[in-house]
Structure 1
Amino acid sequence: MWSRRGRSLLLLFFLLFLLALPRLSSPQAFKETGESQEEITPALREEFREAEEAYREGEEERALILLKGFLKDHPFSPLSDDALLLLGRIYQERGEHEEAISSLSSFLRRYPSSPKLPEAKLALAKSYLATGREGLALGMAHELLPFCKERPELQLPLFLLLGEAYDRAGEPLLAISWYQKALEFASFEERASIKERMIALLDRELDPGVYWEVETTYPNTFLSLYARLKLAEIYLRRGEQKKAELILKGMKEEAEREGFQDFYADLWSRVKKGRGEVLLGCILPLSGRFRSLGEKVLRGILLGAGIFGPPSYPHVKLLLRDSGGSGENGREAYRVLRKEGVEAIIGPLLPQVAVAVLEEAEGDLPLLVLAPQARVEEKCAFYLALDLRSQIEELLEYACDRLGKTRFVIFYPNTPYGRESQRIFEELVPAYGGEVVAKATYGKDQTDFGDLIKGVFGKASSLGAVADALFVPDDYRRVCLLVPQLRFHEVEGLQLLGLSGWNSPRLTELCGRYAEGAVFTGGFSPDLPLPEVRSFRSSYEEAFGSSPSFLEALGYDAVRMILKVPEDDLCFELLTIRDFQGVTGIEGFLTTGEAVRRPYLFQVSDGKIHPLLPPF
């Protein structure tokens, strides 16, 4: 006979079993284990093959639609893992990394025993890295290392990913170690590309201890040689000519053999000649309504010159002249600085002042112009501001090639900036396979955009037939007045596109959810996951107690470019700069003086502004 206690326990177990039955028999149980409830029929295989074929033929949008439909109709088929993995890869190739992360994470949850798990983890790590989540990328990548023995094809892409991730995480020595491992599995062409990555890493302003470590860890290699050259460069900046000379002696033939002869020759000439104090002039608005802008640039210049923060060599002396907002003040400032014998002038910052100074300039004193939209055919003028054409090119490439948008509406302010932006956009869009289907202008102080919106889209827009993207070349304040009114007039689903005027933390504060998904250009963000930006931000915050913006970064890059080249003929030497790693993305100059740079792209996601870095 059962005791009372025994009967109670038996009843409890029976009740628990009954509660568990619905779960064990439900589709959810199959979903969590990744088990299939379908067989692979010819019809099922053909449905998946159609999506694969669309992808191979470059019809990414169609492939996405087919794959989503396949997963919806056949969530537990034997081909669902392939479909989910392909979906993630397509999103990744389009640069839509948040969607890629969602699809690939779902794959890992549903198919933890899949033979394609390594491919999914590698792809997920790449998207983590592309969205600035180096820690997650590194964790995922290290989980893959045990697979390399059985899957040797994983070694090269995995080691490259680890190198890139450690580089972005500010661990140059670990990055180099993984790049060095990647070299062992690379083809001849791939080796050249990996070496370029390693040289670019060493070209950053690293601590001397890092170069000494590289020199001793990789003896008799191009890494050791380049590390010694960088050490010599550091000693020259500090004014320690003798130490630089000791390093460079006897290196000429080795440098020529590895292709570093130009770098060596430049360092050796500086050793023999030396360089004393550098006298730089600045023309900035330090009074009046634009004073705050001028002070931002000046803080960046002071940091780059070593007056605040880490010291620089050669020693820099600055002569400041206040332009206010007046072209005549700018002309007078130029004349005074020229008489003072400055080697170069940084500024002006305001377009009207820049035009006046460029007209006054005699063509033999370098002008590093910071003003946007101020261009004069003038020898020895270099333009550091973001130009409209390169921004619009970058935006169109992403919108058309990555997002598949082809039908654009332009709303633009009736200002010189707005009209020029609209003109360039219309000029360039056909080359990217797109068209402008409508455009409309508005007043620079306009706040009600109802008539504008209804005039283009009608009272209840049939949006798919009209456009799939809206380009607004204005600043974030006006944009945040306009975009909520789109929703009010039932205009939804448009991809919002903008230029650097959108790039402000206040965009998400003022626009709220209406800016979600917007893509725009910019010249800088302190949150960019790049080593040179991290270093600049850290030094700036230590010196001034706040985060830098684009203007501070622009001033910082300007003075660093001047100090990078010999002082013999700065007009010529500045044109020789290549692969400069500016925090504003600047790499050098064209013969016209235009800056060579690829503007950064940003996207609003989950209410925050995130950088859109190129896919790994």
Structure 2
Amino acid sequence: MTSDTGSCQPSTWWKKALKGGIFLLILLDACQPMRKPPLEEVGPPRPTVIARDEFLKGKKAFQEGRWAEAVELLKRFLEQYPSTPWGEEALFMLGMGHFRLREYEDAVREFREFRSRFPRSPREWEVSFHLAKALLELGRRKEALEVAEGILPRAEEHPSQRLELLRLLAKGWREEAPLKALSFYYELWKAGQKEVRDEVLSLVDDLDADELREVAARWKGTFIGVYARLKLATLLLDEGKGDEAEALLREVEGMAKGLGFGELFESLWTRLLKPKERELKVGLLLPLSGRYAQAGREVMKGAFLAAGIFGDRHPSWRVRFFIADTSSTLKGAMRGYNRLKGEVQAIVGPLSPRGVKAVLDLRGEDDPCLFPLSSLEEGGGEGVWPLVIPVSTEVEELFLEARREGLKTFGLFYPRTPFGERVVRALQEAAWRWGGEVILYHPYREGEVDFGAFLSEMKEVGPVPDALMVAGTDYTLCLVASQLAYYDLQDVRLLGLRIVDPSKLLGLCRDYLGGAVITCPFWGDSSREEVRHFISAYREVYGEDPGYFAALGWDGVELLTLMGKKEGVEGLYLYGVTGLRAFSPDGTPIGSVFKLRIVHGHLEEIY
């Protein structure tokens, strides 16, 4: 039987309908618009953002110097946000804010908390530095100094604050440990902080004697040590201990003026010499008029300089001079001596050998000690000490120099005077003592200028010595030198004795003096330290170079101030600018002679 639905079977239709429905659903879903994900809910800002903003507000107020506002903001920030990356910086600024506001108790509290919480912070040194300052402001000196000394070893890493730290320590220790305070002041002074000088001096003013001694030893050579010595000398003078005070003043004599203590030094020295027992009454028996007036005035200038009347010299005694003019005569010397001997303790002079002899004949047992300015043929007796080195010493030194050069035979030109006779005896004694032979003597008369006959005979007949010693003036030596050259005797070595002005000698006849050796009683170009000092002092005061007679005056007063009121010269050692060093028991001067060699027209000192 046939159905109305056609030829299809029922099961096939169902399947086709199912497939079509599924396809339609897929198509409908693909045509739907894309859905957006649901929006998240927006809540209040996160805590870290708020904390950072609060911190920056406080930091800005701090940087702009609004300290009170900064303190409030930073305090609130730290209370609300105790654990943030900005806590260290905030606590630092909070402490510094209190410090700027002079709220030192609050600053100390915050600085201590910082050191506790952040011990390795790069800001720890600066925090400790300000902690010390705050504690000092609060009067808690001991705590402040403990903190300051704890950070001192690392102060070099903070040059901008190191000096302030040193000043804090200096002021902090000033009352309890003044010497410790001085050590910090000295570091400041070395660093160029010269304004601390007044603080240092006022601190030294308050030290006792033992502390002053320690300061003088510890800072020797600095302005602190020099001032300490001056203050100690003041205390010693108060106690009547003049010798100890003088020793201290001597130590700083050359430094006090340069360090700004010249006026104090001078006042102390004046005070030292004020007692009458520190006064020496000295007579100057000199030719201030007549033939030898120039020499006499030079002696006086040297004496005045040595006594400290001019210049900045400081002898151990106050010298009061009594002056008598000999008028360059024997009668003047005798008259002057008689006038002076009752007024003074010592007399320097006379200058001429004849004047010395005349005065020696007048001397009595209680007469003052005498310092003649010429050598004596024999001892002058008790209380007489010549200032001139004996000619025998010069002859021996000259002779020995020639022997060191291998010279064996000697000739001698000498004046027919007592001086010439002493030279003869001295040369003979030197030859006997040291070997060598004196084979030729020629005494000459005063004013003799032509030695041709004698030199000609010496060349033709002989003997010709290896060396020829000439005793006399520079003019006589030049005459002999030129005439030796004329007779072709240049190989004979010239030895010049007691040439007062070597420079003048070169000006007269340097071309004839090659290889000559001379002695002189004083040489201003010597490298000896005592001579250099004397030359400098003389030039500064008088504006000229000193000569031999000025040197004699200097040595005379030097010796007297060294003696003081002793009755003799035993045991004294002098660095005299004329070479004078000491005296033998019989009163004979002992000294170091100036020896010069002439090389290529120039003078060379022989040591």
Question: 3-state DSSP class of the match of 2:570?
Answer: helix
What's 2:507 paired with? 509
Structure 2 CA distance for partners of 1:420 and 1:388, relative to 1, 3 Å: same
Superposed counterparts of 1:177-188, under 5 Å: none
Question: 3-state DSSP class of the match of 2:449?
Answer: coil
Structure 2 CA distance for partners of 1:314 and 1:584, relative to 1, 3 Å: same
Query: Residue 503 of structure 1 contacts residue 520 of structure 1 at CA under 8 Å; is this kept in 2?
Result: no
Question: 3-state DSSP class of the match of 1:575?
Answer: coil
More RCO (CA 8 Å, sep 6+): 1
* Displacement after TM superposition at 1:511 (Å): 1.1
1:312-343 CA-partner distances (Å, limit 9, x unpaired): 3422111110112322222221221122x211
For 1:347, give the aligned amino acid.
G
Distance 1:477 1:317 in 2: 39
> TM-score, normalising length from structure 2?
0.55
Calculate the aligned-residue CA RMSD, in Å: 3.5
Is it true that 1:331 corresponds to 2:331 in the alignment?
A: no
Query: Residue 327 of structure 1 contacts residue 355 of structure 1 at CA under 8 Å; is this kept in 2?
Result: no
* Displacement after TM superposition at 1:214 (Å): 10
Among 409, 412, 419, the alignment partner of 1:410 is 412
What's 2:567 paired with? 571
Superposed counterparts of 1:11-410, under 5 Å: 216=218, 245=244, 275-312=277-314, 313-339=316-342, 341-364=343-366, 365-373=368-376, 375-400=378-403, 402-410=404-412
1:234-256 CA-partner distances (Å, limit 9, x unpaired): 9999999657546989xxxxxxx
Among 591, 595, 614, the alignment partner of 2:589 is 595
Question: 3-state DSSP class of the match of 1:383?
Answer: coil
Question: 3-state DSSP class of the match of 2:604?
Answer: strand
What's 1:27 paired with? none
* Displacement after TM superposition at 1:480 (Å): 0.9
* Displacement after TM superposition at 1:374 (Å): 5.3
For 2:579, give the aligned amino acid.
G
Gaps of 5+ in 2: 1-212, 249-271
What's 2:47 paired with? none
* Displacement after TM superposition at 1:448 (Å): 1.4
What's 2:493 paired with? 495
Question: 3-state DSSP class of the match of 1:398?
Answer: helix
Distance 1:236 1:394 in 2: 50
Question: 3-state DSSP class of the match of 1:404?
Answer: coil
Question: 3-state DSSP class of the match of 1:596?
Answer: strand
Query: Residue 502 of structure 1 contacts residue 520 of structure 1 at CA under 8 Å; is this kept in 2?
Result: no
Question: 3-state DSSP class of the match of 1:410?
Answer: strand
Among 521, 525, 528, the alignment partner of 1:527 is 525
Structure 2 CA distance for partners of 1:545 and 1:240, relative to 1, 3 Å: farther
* Displacement after TM superposition at 1:469 (Å): 0.7
Among 465, 469, 473, the alignment partner of 1:471 is 469
Among 540, 544, 547, the alignment partner of 2:545 is 547
For 2:570, give the aligned amino acid.
L
Structure 2 CA distance for partners of 1:491 and 1:351, relative to 1, 3 Å: same
Distance 2:561 2:325 in 1: 23
Structure 2 CA distance for partners of 1:517 and 1:234, relative to 1, 3 Å: farther
* Displacement after TM superposition at 1:589 (Å): 1.4
Among 427, 438, 441, the alignment partner of 1:439 is 441
What's 2:578 paired with? 584
1:365-407 CA-partner distances (Å, limit 9, x unpaired): 110111234545421000111211111111111111x211111
Query: Residue 245 of structure 1 contacts residue 271 of structure 1 at CA under 8 Å; is this kept in 2?
Result: no
Distance 1:543 1:328 in 2: 34
Query: Residue 233 of structure 2 contacts residue 245 of structure 2 at CA under 8 Å; is this kept in 1?
Result: no
Structure 2 CA distance for partners of 1:362 and 1:508, relative to 1, 3 Å: same
Question: 3-state DSSP class of the match of 2:284?
Answer: strand
Question: 3-state DSSP class of the match of 2:507?
Answer: helix
Structure 2 CA distance for partners of 1:232 and 1:598, relative to 1, 3 Å: farther
Distance 2:296 2:335 in 1: 17
For 1:370, give the aligned amino acid.
L
Distance 1:235 1:442 in 2: 63
Gaps of 5+ in 1: 1-210, 220-226, 250-269
* Displacement after TM superposition at 1:417 (Å): 1.9
Query: Residue 241 of structure 1 contacts residue 274 of structure 1 at CA under 8 Å; is this kept in 2?
Result: no
What's 1:608 paired with? 602
1:160-201 CA-partner distances (Å, limit 9, x unpaired): xxxxxxxxxxxxxxxxxxxxxxxxxxxxxxxxxxxxxxxxxx
For 2:362, give the aligned amino acid.
E
What's 2:128 paired with? none
For 1:425, give the aligned amino acid.
L
Query: Residue 379 of structure 2 contacts residue 588 of structure 2 at CA under 8 Å; is this kept in 1?
Result: no
Question: 3-state DSSP class of the match of 1:496?
Answer: strand
* Displacement after TM superposition at 1:216 (Å): 4.5
For 2:571, give the aligned amino acid.
T
Question: 3-state DSSP class of the match of 1:547?
Answer: coil
Distance 2:237 2:542 in 1: 23
* Displacement after TM superposition at 1:458 (Å): 1.4
Distance 1:389 1:426 in 2: 10
Question: 3-state DSSP class of the match of 1:448?
Answer: coil
For 1:575, give the aligned amino acid.
E
Distance 1:212 1:458 in 2: 79
Distance 2:237 2:494 in 1: 48
Q: How many positions carry a matched residue from both structures?
A: 365
Structure 2 CA distance for partners of 1:215 and 1:507, relative to 1, 3 Å: farther
Distance 1:427 1:296 in 2: 35
Distance 1:384 1:276 in 2: 24
Question: 3-state DSSP class of the match of 2:484?
Answer: helix
Distance 2:237 2:458 in 1: 61
* Displacement after TM superposition at 1:311 (Å): 3.9
What's 2:422 paired with? 420
Structure 2 CA distance for partners of 1:606 and 1:355, relative to 1, 3 Å: same
Distance 1:520 1:455 in 2: 26
Query: Residue 388 of structure 2 contacts residue 580 of structure 2 at CA under 8 Å; is this kept in 1?
Result: no
Query: Residue 232 of structure 1 contacts residue 244 of structure 1 at CA under 8 Å; is this kept in 2?
Result: no
Question: 3-state DSSP class of the match of 1:571?
Answer: coil
Query: Residue 449 of structure 1 contacts residue 482 of structure 1 at CA under 8 Å; is this kept in 2?
Result: yes
Question: 3-state DSSP class of the match of 1:505?
Answer: helix
